[in-house]
Structures are given as C-alpha cells and as structure tokens.
C-alpha cells in the first residue's frame, strides 16, 4: 500500500478551470388520484409554491465535486459563471467530512493540505449566493484519517480481528461506523460549524445511507448492538435466510432513520428551511427499505449517475418510478455524471453526449429533477460542458411544463423490493451473493420491457404502499413474481380485487412470507383460484398449448403452441371462486422434452390438463395468473410471443375501459403522461438504438410520426398543443374530453405540452 503523501506526490500538478447558475421555480409534483373508471377521489396534495420549502420548487441542480488539490488554483468566478449558464436553482459544493475546504476548528476534521490561507468553500458560497442560487454543502461521513483512528478508535468499523477497515484505493482513509459517536457527535459538530459560518441551504452526504447491502461491523458498538438488540454476535456477512439477520435489518433501518432525523434537526437549528439530503439510488435493485427511507426524506436524491456493461438504457427511468412510488410527490433528484462512469470508470473524460442527454431526459420525464455533476476543479476534457448547458437551458425555457401535479397512468406495476433483494426460490442456489440480485430483477425487467413494447402508461407502486387510496387510482395492478409478500400485503391486494380492480401475477407470487418463509401454497391462491405444488426444475424446451380462444391470444391464430416459461409452479384450479365465473384455462402445459439431437425432438406428453394460465372475471375485476416465469423468460429469451401475450393480457385486464393516454407508431419508446400546472404533458423517450441494452448510446436514430390520444378533464378545452423539443405547434382536434394529435417524429426525447 502506498501512503497518501506518495499518492499525492505522484499525481499530476497540471490544473485548469471552468464555472455557475440562476434560480427558477418549478414543481416536482405528486401523483394524486385520477378521475375515471375505478378511481378513488381524494384531496389533491399540491400546495401553492409559497407554502412549500425551497427545494420543493427546484427544477435544476448541479454539483462540482472538489478534490483535495483544487484549492491551489481553482478559479471561483469561472466555475460559478458556468453553473449560472445552466440556470440552476441549487448548486452542491464540497464542505467537509473527509476533507474540509474551509479553515475548520473541529478536531480531527481534516483540512485540505492545499488550502493554505484560502477559505475555498467560503469563496464559492459567497459567489453562489451572489448569483441567486441555493447552496448545498456536499459532505462525506464515511471515512476519516489515521489520526482520528488513534484518538477515537470507537468511531471506526472493525474486522473480526479488531483491525480498522481502510479504503480500497486510498488506504490512508478508514471506514467510520454508523453505530458510533462519529455519526451522533462528530458529524453534527461539523454541520453546526458550517451552518454558523456560511449561508448554507442544505447538507448532502455522499455515499450514505445508500440503498445497497447492509454492512456487518465488529467494533464494540456493533457487538453491543448485536448482543442487546439482535441476541447474537455479528456474522461475517449478511444472509437473509438467517433469522438474526432479519432482526439486524430492522435495527439497521431504525438506526438509519434515527441518524437521518437527528441530522435534519441539527441543520435546521439556524435555518428552519434548511434540509438534510441522504444519498440514495440503486434503481430497482435496492436492499435497504426505500419506503421507510421515504418516510424521513424531505428530498430523495438518487445518486444513479449512469450505466455500464449490459445495463439497459431505461435504468434511469426505473429509478424515477421507484422514487416516485415512495415520495408521494415530494422532491426527487437524480444525478447524471458528466464523466464516463462506465466499467471501467474514467473520472476525467466526458461521457458520450447522446448517453448523457438520454439520462437527463429520463430523469426529467419520470418526474425527477436533473442534477448535473462533474468531478475535479481542473478539467482537461471540456466536451461535457455544452451538453449540460444546452439541456438545462432548454429545461429552464420550458419550466412550467415540468411542474407535475400527478401521473395520468391508470396501470400500476408492483415494485417487489423484498423479492428483488432477498428472493431465492427452490431452484436457485442457496449461497446468496449480491450480484445475483440482477437475476431476481429479471421478472420485473421482463414485464417492464413488454410494457414498453406495448406502449402502456404505468406507475410503480411500492409493496409497502398498497393503501386503498393508492391502489384506487389504478384500473389494473401488475405483479411480476412478488414471491415475498406479507399477510398484510396479500390482504391489501385481495381487497383491491374485491373492490373491482384487475390483477396480473406471475410464478411464485405470495408463495413465501416477507422474509422467505415457505407457505407451501399461494397466499393469494383464492384470488388466482389456484393451488400450488412444487416448482418444476428449469427447462427450456417446454411449451404452452392453446386449448381454446381467448382475447389474450390475439395474434396467435395460426399456431397451437407458444413457447413455455423456463420455470413454473405446478398448479391446479381450485374450482369456482365465490361469486365469480369459472376460471378459464385456454393455455395448458406441454412438459419439457429433449431439444437435442434432432432425432429426439418430439413431445413425450403432448397434452396435459395442467394450467399454463388461469383467467377469471368477477364483475369489473379480471384476474390473470401465469404459474410460470413468463416475464423472466421473456427477458432472458427476447421471444416476442411472450411479450405479446403479456401485452394482450394487460389489454384484457382493462376490459372496456379506455386508456387515458395512447400512443401509436414505430419504435421502442418509454412514455410518461402528467397533469402539470399549465395543463398536461406527454413525454416520449426514443430508445430505438443499437446500444439500448448495452452502453453507451453514440447517436440517436429518429423515429417517425406518433399518433396520440389524450383524455383531459371533462369540460377542459385545450387551446394549444406544442412539441417542446421541436419548438413547434402541433395540429390537434378535440372531441369531448379526447384530444388527438400527431407528433411528427422523435429524435431523442420529445415533450408535448397541452394547454
């Protein structure tokens, strides 16, 4: 391991500079109940701008992330000029934590070795406020220096042998422990010092609490926590199959919320409108309960800066849907890294401009506030600057249309967080690793892709937010293998269906309790009208036989067989559910038979009476249950038959109800529809790209005309329809509450405003 001084000495000494901002007033609105079929009308949560905290009206945010050497030559005015050109509402700048960029008096708060006589944070703060921008101090609570380890050994995480944990790349830094006084004494002392000296409007902590895996520490504080609250000793790693882990999970979450509330109280001591912002994110693959985090977060920041490897382009939009599902209309921001945060990462070269634009577009389309980020005060690559400036100035010019009040979607997708975080079915290996969480997300990913192809407008609903007033907004609820559901979750879903809502569920949904305890049957079996047996071993060459015609089988008139899911639960129909029609089984299972060699490829059992799907109706409610992992198999295989079957099923669930918004045309797009302060907005993200499922996007491939129908409130007359990216009026007609228009084409992203 090299020392910190050796590392700094080896670094290049060349520096450069750039810079700034200006405030505007938007609204990161709340999804409120919709009118129309199956709607539950409740109070609109929208508040007048004057009644909201400053961060609730923020629409553009930026961050300059300093390094320790920046105080030597950083040009404050040029940087602030740059951020001002983006017309930002708020700017984040390094205050302290690991490194203080001001002359701190807090013991063991490391002052930058290159600070000299400067107060760099103070200079930046004064310049930021002079340009009318809000200032948020970027902090880091995760690491401290060796002198602090020697003076306060109780502040730091420990390995089982008692040794402190150094940073992997900067070994002169050591990991602090969340259960230690570092979080309750040292960090509040730093917040108070900064809050008393500088006009700070908020504090943000890098990397904490995150939404990733829980860590296990062996320091004396954590040993005491495990002993007194868990009744065990700390394990070497977390394991959700262990009952002690379940207790630790709750204790861990309680501590996160305790620290969050404590820090919020500290930062408001001098300024009541100040805010503490935690570092969240993770998209759909989260472990820490984001619903609980949403209960304390006044501002949800998703540090979801970009993608690498085979991450799909819509990963950012999924992050937006997750955050919206837990924040009930409160502020959500998402960070876009301007640098190349691929795998491997290059911190000091720009990301491909098209990739950056699409990431920011998804952020805005999904109702989040874009947050543009660069690292280092002396960039040698300037290509990123114009990309951010162009997009942000366009946002500012059209700001009112991004002040969302509610989503227009009437289809909900259950976000099954526990299943994605902890699920291990009987066919999966028992030795859990975090990387396997990508596989548990495949069920949701497959359904998601089918909905994109089917041009379905939808929202996410978190499994812990299944309140009647939430579900009552939606005509149908779609559940992609929520294997881990509590009794309360299941009861809420049962009540939703009994009240007239429609339901789609797949595979092992409700087979286990919220921690994976096997129920040995489906808790929602009465809703599906199914009794479950064992999970069949994964098999690729199995099929679904069409036994009778059904609306979900539209487009399959010339085949008797459809591809079967790779995994399935053996089920049988229970019989007629109370007050419901008999369950329909238009698809039956054709079991696996050899796929090689060709001479052996013939069905041993060409026909069974085992359902591959169950459909039933009860009044307005329609229920579809697929015992197989049709969603995951679609995602893994890409077979279009499975995608079409899912899309047809969603259409069938709706019954005769007309969707509030529809969009027809060529191309793979993701769509969002919002009621806004001035009227309505339709967002169209063009994903039609060879780099859609593996980054980076190099260029955009324009798609042709898109025909839209948009249902507005009864009695509302639309005066203008305008394409904001194209900056042109769009001809339209209105027949009652239906507005029809055609978007001439979409290159990257289009927003159509109806006013």
Residues 35-68 pLDDT 10s: 333 333 333 334 445 578 999 999 999 999 999 9
Q: Please list the helix, strand and coil fractions of the chain in percent, rounded to the nearest 5, in that order.
A: 30, 25, 45
Q: Is residue 268 scored above 80 in pLDDT?
A: yes
For residue 272, tell me if it sits in a domain.
Answer: yes
Binned at pLDDT 50, 70 and 90, residue 425 comes out as low
Q: Are residues 422 and 328 both part of a single domain?
A: no
Mean per-residue pLDDT of the chain: 91
Work out the percent of the chain whose per-residue pLDDT is above 70: 91
Domain boundary among 625, 654, 683: 654
Residues 584-643 pLDDT 10s: 899 999 999 999 999 999 999 999 999 999 999 999 999 999 999 999 999 999 999 999
Q: Which residues of 531-557 are buried (b: 16+ CB within 10 A; e: fewer)?
A: bbeebbeeeebbbbbbbeebebbeebe
Q: Are residues 99 and 183 both part of a single domain?
A: yes
Q: Are residues 125 and 17 both part of a single domain?
A: yes
For residue 572 the two structure tokens come to 């049988």
Q: Compare 412 and 23 and report the one with higher pLDDT.
A: 412
Between the two ends of the chain, the Cα-to-Cα distance in Å is 62
d(CA 120, CA 138): 13
Span 393-401, average pLDDT: 98
- Domain of 691, CATH number, reads 2.60.40.1180
Residues 6-17 pLDDT 10s: 444 444 333 333
Residues 215-243 pLDDT 10s: 899 999 999 999 999 999 998 877 787 88
pLDDT for position 23: 29
d(CA 45, CA 56): 13
Tell me how far CA of residue 186 lies from CA of 92, 101, 168, 203, 510, in angstroms: 21, 17, 23, 15, 45
pLDDT for position 659: 97
Span 727-751, average pLDDT: 98
- Structurally, how many domains does the chain consist of? 3
Q: Are residues 399 and 510 both part of a single domain?
A: no
Cis amide prior to 122 (ω within 30 degrees):
no
pLDDT for position 7: 42
pLDDT for position 50: 56
DSSP label at residue 577:
P
pLDDT for position 342: 83
pLDDT for position 291: 97
Q: Is residue 286 scored above 60 in pLDDT?
A: yes
Q: Are residues 96 and 190 both part of a single domain?
A: yes
Backbone angles phi, psi at 86, to 5 degrees: -85, -5
* Beta carbons of 464 and 414 less than 8 angstroms apart: no
pLDDT for position 9: 45
Cis amide prior to 597 (ω within 30 degrees):
yes
Span 417-441, average pLDDT: 66
Residues 75-86 pLDDT 10s: 999 999 999 999
d(CA 697, CA 693): 9
How much is the pTM?
0.92
pLDDT for position 40: 33
Q: Are residues 630 and 504 both part of a single domain?
A: yes
Q: Are residues 304 and 448 both part of a single domain?
A: no
Span 553-572, average pLDDT: 96
Domain with 58 in it: 4-406
Binned at pLDDT 50, 70 and 90, residue 5 comes out as very low
DSSP label at residue 604:
S
Span 349-374, average pLDDT: 97
Q: Are residues 577 and 690 both part of a single domain?
A: no
Domain boundary among 654, 676, 706: 654
**What is the rounded radius of gyration, in angstroms, for the C-alpha atoms of the chain?**
27
Q: Is residue 376 scored above 70 in pLDDT?
A: yes
Q: Is residue 469 scored above 70 in pLDDT?
A: yes
User: Residue 2, Cβ neighbours under 10 Å: how many?
Assistant: 12
Q: Is residue 20 scored above 60 in pLDDT?
A: no
For residue 701, tell me if it sits in a domain.
Answer: yes
Residues 675-702 pLDDT 10s: 999 999 999 999 999 999 988 999 999 9
For residue 541, tell me if it sits in a domain.
Answer: no
Q: Which residues of 253-283 are buried (b: 16+ CB within 10 A; e: fewer)?
A: bebbbebbeebbebbeeeeeebbbbbbbbbb
- Domain of 52, CATH number, reads 3.20.20.80
Binned at pLDDT 50, 70 and 90, residue 21 comes out as very low
For residue 608, tell me if it sits in a domain.
Answer: no
Q: Are residues 255 and 346 both part of a single domain?
A: yes
Q: Are residues 360 and 494 both part of a single domain?
A: no
Q: Is residue 755 scored above 70 in pLDDT?
A: yes
User: Residue 517, Cβ neighbours under 10 Å: how many?
Assistant: 11
């Amino acid at each position: 391991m090299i020392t910190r001084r050796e590392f700094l000495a080896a670094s290049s000494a060349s520096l450069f500079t750039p810079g700034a901002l200006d405030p505007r007033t938007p609204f990161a609105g709340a999804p409120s109940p919709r009118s129309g079929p199956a709607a539950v009308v409740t109070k609109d949560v929208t508040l007048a701008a004057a009644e909201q905290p400053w961060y609730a009206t923020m629409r553009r945010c930026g961050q300059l992330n300093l390094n320790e050497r920046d105080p030597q030559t950083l040009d404050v005015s040029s940087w602030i000029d740059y951020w001002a050109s983006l017309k930002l509402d708020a700017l984040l700048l390094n205050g302290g934590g690991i490194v203080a960029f001001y002359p701190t008096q807090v013991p063991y708060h490391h002052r930058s070795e290159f600070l000299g006589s400067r107060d760099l944070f103070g200079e930046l703060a004064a310049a930021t406020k002079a340009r009318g921008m809000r200032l948020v101090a970027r902090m880091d609570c995760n690491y401290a220096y060796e002198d602090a380890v020697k003076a306060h050994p109780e502040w730091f995480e420990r390995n089982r042998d008692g040794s402190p944990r150094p940073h992997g790349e900067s070994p002169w830094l050591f990991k602090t422990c969340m259960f230690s006084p570092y979080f309750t004494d040292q960090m509040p002392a730093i917040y108070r010092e900064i809050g008393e000296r500088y006009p700070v409007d908020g504090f943000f902590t890098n990397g904490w609490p995150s939404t990733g895996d829980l860590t296990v520490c062996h320091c004396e504080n954590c040993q005491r926590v495990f002993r007194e609250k868990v009744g065990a000793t700390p394990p070497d790693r977390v394991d959700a199959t262990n009952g002690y882990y379940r207790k630790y999970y709750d204790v861990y979450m309680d501590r996160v919320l305790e620290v969050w509330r404590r820090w919020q109280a500290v930062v408001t001591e001098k300024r009541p409108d100040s805010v503490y912002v935690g570092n969240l994110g993770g998209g759909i693959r989260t472990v820490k309960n984001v619903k609980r985090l949403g209960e304390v977060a006044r501002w949800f920041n998703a540090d979801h800066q970009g993608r690498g490897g085979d991450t799909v382009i819509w990963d950012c939009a999924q992050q937006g849907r997750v955050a919206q599902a837990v924040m009930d209309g409160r502020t959500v921001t998402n960070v876009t890294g301007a640098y190349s945060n691929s795998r491997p990462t290059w911190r000091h070269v720009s990301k491909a401009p098209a990739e950056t634009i699409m990431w920011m577009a998804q952020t805005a389309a999904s109702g989040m506030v874009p947050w543009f980020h660069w690292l280092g005060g002396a960039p040698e690559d300037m290509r990123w600057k114009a990309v951010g400036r162009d997009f942000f100035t366009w946002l500012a010019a059209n700001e009112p249309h991004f002040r969302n009040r509610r989503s227009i979607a009437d289809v909900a997708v259950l976000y099954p967080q526990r299943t994605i975080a902890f699920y291990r079915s009987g066919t999966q290996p028992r030795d859990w690793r975090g990387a396997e969480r990508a596989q548990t997300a495949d069920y949701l990913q497959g359904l998601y892709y089918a909905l994109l192809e089917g041009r379905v407008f939808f929202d996410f609903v978190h499994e812990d937010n299944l309140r009647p007033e939430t579900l009552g907004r939606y005509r149908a609820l779609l559940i992609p293998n929520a294997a881990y559901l509590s009794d309360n979750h299941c009861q809420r879903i049962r009540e939703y269906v009994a009240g007239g809502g429609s339901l789609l569920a797949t595979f092992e949904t409700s087979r286990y309790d919220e921690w994976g305890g096997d129920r040995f049957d489906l808790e929602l079996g009465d809703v599906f009208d199914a009794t479950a047996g064992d999970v069949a071993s994964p098999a690729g060459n199995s099929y679904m036989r069409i036994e009778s015609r059904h609306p979900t089988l539209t487009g399959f008139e010339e085949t008797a067989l459809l591809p079967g899911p790779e995994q399935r639960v053996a089920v049988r129909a229970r019989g007629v559910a109370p007050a419901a029609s008999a369950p329909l089984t238009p698809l039956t299972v054709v079991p696996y038979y050899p796929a090689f060699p060709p001479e052996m490829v013939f069905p041993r059992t060409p026909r069974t009476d085992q359902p591959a799907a169950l459909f039933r109706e009860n009044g307005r409610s329609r229920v579809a249950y697929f015992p197989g992992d049709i969603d995951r198999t679609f995602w893994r295989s890409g077979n279009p038959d499975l995608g079409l079957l899912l899309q047809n099923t969603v259409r069938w669930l709706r019954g005769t109800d007309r969707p509030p918004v529809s969009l027809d045309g060529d191309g793979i797009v993701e769509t969002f529809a919002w009621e806004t302060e001035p009227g309505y907005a339709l967002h169209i993200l063009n994903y039609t790209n060879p780099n859609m499922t593996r980054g980076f996007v190099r260029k955009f491939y324009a798609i042709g005309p898109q025909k839209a129908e948009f249902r507005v409130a009864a009695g509302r007359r639309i005066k203008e329809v305008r394409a904001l990216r194209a900056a042109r009026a769009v001809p339209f007609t209105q027949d009652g509450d239906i507005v029809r228009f055609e978007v001439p084409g979409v290159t990257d992203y289009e927003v159509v405003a109806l006013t």
